[in-house]
A and B are shown apart, each in its own frame.
Chain A
C-alpha cells in the first residue's frame, strides 16, 4: 500500500461508465476525475439521469468502471477480484441507502454488528451499544427493523456504516424516504460523524436542504462535473445553482 503518497479517502481518475451496447449505449459517467479528502462531507447533486448515483456506485466499488481508475484509501479497485473487492468494502466502506437498508430478520443490534460478523470479528464489548447510543437508539437495540420507524431504521443504518470505522461512508439519498424531522436528524448524525470522528462522507441527494449540510457540493450533468460549491452558505444558493443546471 502507498499510504505515504496519498492523503485522499477516495480518488476517481478519468472514470467512464457506459451502459448498454452499440448505438443504444448511454454514457453515465464521462471521463470524471474527482478527489474526496479525509474528514470531508461532500454532496453530489444533479438532475435525474445526470449520473450522480452511478458516480457513487463506481466510487464505492459496487459497480465496475469501463475506463479510468478508482482508489479507496489509496487502494486501486480496478484489478481486484469480486472477493477482494467485497473485503475492501467490508473494511473501508460504509453504506446508507435510501431504503431497504436493514436485514429484516435481524435486530438493530445484530444489523449493526453485521459487517464485523461477516469479517469474522467479534465486536468489542459495548462497541455496538456505544454506536447505537451515538445515533440515539440505545434503547431500541433489540428491536427488529419492522418495529422501527423509517427515521430510526436510517439511524441504525448509519450506526452500521460507522461501526467498522470505514475510510469513507457513502450515502445514497439517505433522506429520500423520510419526513423533515427525521431527515434533519439523519443529516445531523452524518455531520457529527465528520466533525467528531473525522469521518469522510460522500452523499448523493437531490434535496438542497440536505446538501446544505455538506462542506462541498458537486453538480453533475450528463455524466460530467459541471459546477462546484465550497462551504455553501445555505440551501437557497444551492437551489439556485440547481435551477440553473436544470434549465440548461
Chain B
C-alpha cells in the first residue's frame, strides 16, 4: 500500500527523495575518501618486507605517536645485527632529506613532497626500479634521478638542499621519482635515522623474519610488517591527512543534519496536508500504529529508492575529488581514491536512518489524527503550536544557549565544534518555535498594505496557516543561520589572528622562503644580515619530543613548564640521534620552546630549515629566499590558512545552502499545489490571475523574510559570543565581521527560488481546474 501511495503522490516525496539522494551521495563520497585516506606504506619503502622502527613515544593526551631517532652508533650496530638475521638480504637505514631542483635559480615543484625527495642510493633497494641508463652514484656530487625529468647521463643538475644550493651530476636514471645520492651525502643532509628497511631473501616470509627480531632489537625498536609499515609515512603527510579527515567529518555531520532537517520539515508538512486521507484510513480501521508504520514504510522506500543511486553516485564521483584534495593540501601527494565496498552500504544505511528520524515526529503526529477529521469538509489547520513543539523547542533553546556559554572557556580547537554544535541545536529550536512569530511579523509587515486586498488575504492567510508559513521559513532559517554564523565566526577569527601575529613582528622587512620552497637553506640564512630562529626537535629520555629553537642564546634556556632549574644537567637527544648532556643556563617563564645556541642545534640537525630571517640590513638574494615586508609575510601565512578555511566554508555552506534552497522550493511547490482550489475560488470571486500570483509570491517572500530574521536571531548573538571569546584569548579588541555579502546572496537566492516555486504551479491552471473538480466530487 505504501508503494501505491508513493506512486500516486511522488510529487510530495520529491523533496525528500532529492534530499536523501544528495545526502547519501555526499556521505558515500566522503566515506570513500575517508577509506582511501588511511595511512599508506610510503612507496619508497614498499619493497622492504619488514621495517624496523625506532622506539615509539605515545603522548599521554592521545596525540600522534612519534619515533625518536637512533644515534649513529645505534644505527650501525643494528644494521650489522639485522643483516645477519636469516632471511634478510640487506638492512638499509632510511635517510630521507630535503632536496629541490632549481630551475632558473628558483626552486621548482611541490614544497611538501620535496622534504623527503632525496635518499641514499641504498634505499633504492627498498623499492622496485629499473635502470633507464647510467650507473649508481658513487661519490659526492653524483645523483640518480627519475627518467621522467628528461635529463641525460652526465647532465649538470642545480639543486637546493638544507645546506644551500649545489650542482650535482646525473650518473643514472631510473623509473621512479626521487633523487638518489651516495650514502655519505645522504648522511650529511638527512636528520637522524628512524627506520631501517629489511630487504628479504626470495621466499622469506616477512612475519617469520619479524618474529626473530624482538630479542635482537632489545627494546631499541619494533618490527613492522604489512600495513603496519604505514607508520613510517612522513609526519607532514599525516597532519595533512588529519586536516582532510576534519573536512570529511564536518561534511558528513552537516550533510546528515541538514538532510534530517529537510526531511523532517517536508514530512511534517506533507502529513499536515494529508490529514483527511489519514483520518479516512483511521475511520475504516487503521490503528494508530498502522498509520505510523505506513508513513515510516513510505519514507523507508523513498530512502532506499534515493539511497541506492545516491550511494553509487557518491562512490563513483569520489575518485574525481582526489586531485582537488591534493591540490588544496587536504591529502598528501599520491593520494588516490579507490572503491570501498562498505562506503556506499554505510551511506545507504545512514540515508535510511536519516529518513526514519526525519519522519518520526510527524508519524507520531499523524497517528494521532482522529477518524472524525475525515468528515470535516473544510479541514481547518490544526493549532500551529502543539505542546510537544513548545516543550521540545524551549528545551533545545536552553540546551543550545548553554552550549554557546561554554564557548569562552573552550580551547581553540574545540571552538569551531562548539559554535557549530550550538548553532545546530539553536536552529532546530528556532524552526520548532517559528510559528509563534509568524502572525506578529506578518501583521507588522503588511501594515502599510492593510487596506488593499493583497494585504488582507496575506494577513488572514498567514493567521490561519501559520504552520505553512513557518514550514517555508524553516529552511531559510537554517541556511541564513548556518551561513552567517560559520562565515562570521571564521572571518572574525581571521581578523583576530592577523592582529595577533603582526604584533609579534617588530622589524619591517624579512627574508622569507620563496613560493615553492618549504623553508630557507642554511646558506640563504647565513647570507642575510639579521636574526633568525632555527626550528628543530629534541627528545627527552622518555622519547617525548620537545620543540627546540636555535637562536642567539649562550646556553640552554628552558621553559618554566618543564620544571627544570638552572645549573641542572639534562641529557638531550638531538635530531641526528646523538645524546648530549646539556646544562640549563636559565629558565624562561614566557618561552614555550627550548632555546639552544643556534650553532649547537644546527650541528645536530643538518636537515632543519629556517622559516624567516628578520632583516637588520639589506636583503641579499639567494636561491629559495625572497624579501618581503613583515606584514606581507604574516598575511601570506594567514592566507594559506585562510584558503583552507575558505574551502571548509565553501563545502559546508554549499551543502547546507544547497539543501535548504531545495527545501524552500519543494515546500512552496507542495503548498501552492494544494492551494489551487483556494485560488480557483479567488478566481471565481473575480480576482485576476495577477492578483492571485501577487498573494502567493508575497506570502513566499514573507516566509523568506521570517526565516532570515529568525536565522539572524540565532546567529548574531552567537557571533558576538564567539567574538567575546576571541577577545579574552588575545587580550585586544576584535572587530566583528558581519558577512553581509553572504547574507545578501543567500537571502536573494532563497527569495528567487521561493518566488519561482510559489508561482509555477499557479501558472498551470488547466490542471488546477481538474483538481478542483476531483476535490468537490
Given contacts A62-B371, A97-B374, A150-B777, contact A105 B283 (CB under 8 A): no
Q: Does A7 contact B (CB under 8 A)?
A: no
Contact with A along B729-757 (1 / 0, CB 8 A): 00000000000000000000000000000
Q: How far is the CB of A130 from chain B (nearest CB, A)?
A: 19
Contact with A along B539-552 (1 / 0, CB 8 A): 00000000000000
Q: How far is the CB of B223 from chain A (nearest CB, A)?
A: 64
A91's nearest neighbour on chain B, judged by CB, is B285
- Name which of A98, A104, A177 has the most chain B CB atoms within 10 A of its CB: A104
B283, A89: Cβ atoms closer than 8 Å: yes
A100, B1: Cβ atoms closer than 8 Å: no
Which residues on A sit within 8 Å (CB–CB) of B284?
89-90, 95, 114-115, 118, 160
Which residues on A sit within 8 Å (CB–CB) of B777?
99, 149-150, 153, 177
A83, B5: Cβ atoms closer than 8 Å: no
A119's nearest neighbour on chain B, judged by CB, is B285
Q: Does A103 contact B (CB under 8 A)?
A: yes
Which residues on A sit within 8 Å (CB–CB) of B7?
105
Q: Does A106 contact B (CB under 8 A)?
A: yes
Which residues on B sit within 8 Å (CB–CB) of A160?
284
A83, B374: Cβ atoms closer than 8 Å: no
A57, B288: Cβ atoms closer than 8 Å: no
Choose the segment among B190-198, B274-282, B440-448, B569-577 that binds chain A (4+ C-beta atoms closer than 8 Å).
B274-282
Among A87, A99, A110, point to the contact of B377 (Cβ < 8 A). Answer: A99
A63, B372: Cβ atoms closer than 8 Å: yes
Interface positions of A from 55 to 101, Cβ below 8 Å from B: 57, 62-63, 82-83, 86-87, 89-91, 95, 97-101
Assembled-state Cα–Cα distance A53/B376 (Å) = 11
Which residues on B sit within 8 Å (CB–CB) of A105?
4-5, 7-9
Q: Does B289 contact A (CB under 8 A)?
A: yes
Q: Does B774 contact A (CB under 8 A)?
A: yes
Assembled-state Cα–Cα distance A153/B277 (Å) = 15
Q: Does A117 contact B (CB under 8 A)?
A: yes
Given contacts A63-B372, A117-B1, contact A103 B287 (CB under 8 A): no
Assembled-state Cα–Cα distance A172/B280 (Å) = 14
B771's nearest neighbour on chain A, judged by CB, is A146
Q: How far is the CB of A58 from chain B (nearest CB, A)?
A: 10
B285, A87: Cβ atoms closer than 8 Å: yes
A86, B280: Cβ atoms closer than 8 Å: no
B288, A115: Cβ atoms closer than 8 Å: no
Which residues on B sit within 8 Å (CB–CB) of A144?
8
Q: How far is the CB of A63 from chain B (nearest CB, A)?
A: 6
B280, A118: Cβ atoms closer than 8 Å: no
A160's nearest neighbour on chain B, judged by CB, is B284
Among B1, B9, B286, point to the contact of A86 (Cβ < 8 A). Answer: B286
A110, B1: Cβ atoms closer than 8 Å: yes
A151's nearest neighbour on chain B, judged by CB, is B777
Assembled-state Cα–Cα distance A63/B375 (Å) = 12
Which residues on A sit within 8 Å (CB–CB) of B285?
86-87, 89-91, 114-115, 118-119
B372, A86: Cβ atoms closer than 8 Å: no
Which residues on A sit within 8 Å (CB–CB) of B289?
83
Q: How far is the CB of A105 from chain B (nearest CB, A)?
A: 3
A102's nearest neighbour on chain B, judged by CB, is B280
Q: Does B388 contact A (CB under 8 A)?
A: no
Chain B's interface: helix, strand, loop or mixed, by majority? Answer: helix
Assembled-state Cα–Cα distance A101/B287 (Å) = 18
Q: Does B290 contact A (CB under 8 A)?
A: yes
Interface positions of A from 121 to 153, Cβ below 8 Å from B: 144-146, 149-150, 153
Assembled-state Cα–Cα distance A117/B277 (Å) = 17
Q: How far is the CB of B342 from chain A (nearest CB, A)?
A: 36
The total number of A-B Cβ pairs within 8 Å is 85
Assembled-state Cα–Cα distance A101/B281 (Å) = 10
B4, A101: Cβ atoms closer than 8 Å: no
Among A87, A119, A172, point to the contact of B375 (Cβ < 8 A). Answer: A172
B283, A106: Cβ atoms closer than 8 Å: no
Given contacts A115-B285, A118-B286, A118-B290, contact A146 B1 (CB under 8 A): no
Assembled-state Cα–Cα distance A148/B351 (Å) = 38
Interface positions of B from 318 to 377, Cβ below 8 Å from A: 370-372, 374-375, 377
Which residues on B sit within 8 Å (CB–CB) of A57?
372, 375
Q: How far is the CB of A246 from chain B (nearest CB, A)?
A: 22
Q: How far is the CB of B375 from chain A (nearest CB, A)?
A: 6
B4, A110: Cβ atoms closer than 8 Å: yes
B288, A82: Cβ atoms closer than 8 Å: yes
A106, B280: Cβ atoms closer than 8 Å: no
- Name which of B4, B284, B287, B290 has the most chain A CB atoms within 10 A of its CB: B284
Assembled-state Cα–Cα distance A76/B281 (Å) = 23
Assembled-state Cα–Cα distance A62/B287 (Å) = 13
Q: How far is the CB of B282 from chain A (nearest CB, A)?
A: 7
A101, B280: Cβ atoms closer than 8 Å: yes
A104, B1: Cβ atoms closer than 8 Å: no
Assembled-state Cα–Cα distance A91/B696 (Å) = 45
Contact with B along A105-117 (1 / 0, CB 8 A): 1110010001101
Interface positions of B from 669 to 710, Cβ below 8 Å from A: none
Which residues on A sit within 8 Å (CB–CB) of B1?
106, 110, 117
Which residues on B sit within 8 Å (CB–CB) of A90?
284-286
A161's nearest neighbour on chain B, judged by CB, is B284
Given contacts A82-B288, A87-B285, contact A106 B4 (CB under 8 A): yes
Which residues on A sit within 8 Å (CB–CB) of B276?
100
A86, B287: Cβ atoms closer than 8 Å: yes
Which residues on A sit within 8 Å (CB–CB) of B375?
53, 57, 62, 97-98, 172
Q: How far is the CB of A143 from chain B (nearest CB, A)?
A: 13
Contact with B along A150-184 (1 / 0, CB 8 A): 10010000001000000000001000010000000
Q: How far is the CB of A137 from chain B (nearest CB, A)?
A: 15
B287, A100: Cβ atoms closer than 8 Å: no
Q: How far is the CB of A52 from chain B (nearest CB, A)?
A: 13
Q: How far is the CB of A144 from chain B (nearest CB, A)?
A: 8
- Name which of B9, B282, B283, B776 has the most chain A CB atoms within 10 A of its CB: B283
Which residues on B sit within 8 Å (CB–CB) of A107?
4
Q: How far is the CB of A142 from chain B (nearest CB, A)?
A: 12
B280, A100: Cβ atoms closer than 8 Å: yes
- Name which of A63, A103, A115, A172 has the most chain B CB atoms within 10 A of its CB: A103
Assembled-state Cα–Cα distance A241/B370 (Å) = 35
A57's nearest neighbour on chain B, judged by CB, is B372
B288's nearest neighbour on chain A, judged by CB, is A82
- Name which of B8, B281, B285 has the most chain A CB atoms within 10 A of its CB: B285
Among B8, B287, B370, B774, point to the contact of A83 (Cβ < 8 A). Answer: B287
Q: How far is the CB of B417 from chain A (nearest CB, A)?
A: 44
Which residues on B sit within 8 Å (CB–CB) of A86?
282, 285-288
Q: How far is the CB of B645 from chain A (nearest CB, A)?
A: 49
Q: How far is the CB of B50 from chain A (nearest CB, A)?
A: 64
Assembled-state Cα–Cα distance A107/B281 (Å) = 15
Which residues on B sit within 8 Å (CB–CB) of A149?
777
Interface positions of A from 18 to 65, Cβ below 8 Å from B: 53, 57, 62-63
Given contacts A83-B289, A99-B377, contact A62 B283 (CB under 8 A): yes
Q: How far is the CB of A207 from chain B (nearest CB, A)?
A: 17
Which residues on A sit within 8 Å (CB–CB) of B371?
62, 89
Which residues on A sit within 8 Å (CB–CB) of B776?
99, 177
Assembled-state Cα–Cα distance A91/B558 (Å) = 87
Interface pairs (29), CB distance under 8 Å: A62-B283, A62-B370, A62-B375, A82-B288, A86-B288, A87-B285, A89-B285, A90-B284, A95-B283, A97-B283, A97-B375, A98-B375, A100-B280, A101-B280, A102-B280, A104-B8, A104-B774, A105-B4, A105-B9, A110-B4, A115-B285, A118-B284, A119-B285, A146-B774, A149-B777, A150-B777, A172-B375, A177-B776, A177-B777
Can you list the 6 inter-chain pairs with the closest CB atoms, starting with the nearest? A90-B285, A105-B8, A150-B777, A86-B287, A118-B285, A105-B5
Q: A89-B283, A99-B776 are in contact. List 6 more A-B contacts (CB 8 A).
A: A57-B372, A62-B375, A103-B281, A105-B4, A118-B287, A118-B290
Q: Which residues of A contact B (CB under 8 A)?
A: 53, 57, 62-63, 82-83, 86-87, 89-91, 95, 97-107, 110, 114-115, 117-119, 144-146, 149-150, 153, 160, 172, 177
